Amino acid sequence: SQQGEEDPQALSIQEGENATMNCSYKTSINNLQWYRQNSGRGLVHLILIRSNEREKHSGRLRVTLDTSKKSSSLLITASRAADTASYFCATAVVGGGNKLTFGTGTQLKVEL
């Protein structure tokens, strides 16, 4: 099974609503990152949260990290059609070298 697993696999909401997606992981981490991928394109980094941080904000994005539960959540507030994309969490595992381990992603569709 994956080090990082996103939940749900797919999410469909109306424009203006909030979107929440979750990431669970198995081993200790140094940081956790969220990336966005528009259809058929490369990934774009959204936000990085370190293991000693509990919450971080960037514009309409809010990320939380609970190391005791080995989980993170990404909240997108007031979603827009342009937020339609796949969202991936990536974990920087303790002792994992320079590698990141990516989950399988959440597909978000924001409808007008």
Binding site for another protein (CB under 8 A): 2, 30-31, 33, 35, 40-45, 48, 88, 90, 92, 96-105
CB of 40 to another protein, least distance (A): 7
User: Based on CB atoms, which residue is closest to another protein, 12 or 104?
Assistant: 104
User: Based on CB atoms, which residue is closest to another protein, 40 or 59?
Assistant: 40
Reduce the secondary structure of 69-102 to three states and give it as a string.
CCEEEEEECCCCHHHCEEEEEEEEECCCCCCCEE
Kindly state the helix (H) or strand (E) to which residue 15 belongs, with its residue range.
Answer: none
Comparing CA positions, the residue from 83, 89, 88 lying closest to residue 109 is 83
User: Based on CB atoms, which residue is closest to another protein, 45 or 80?
Assistant: 45
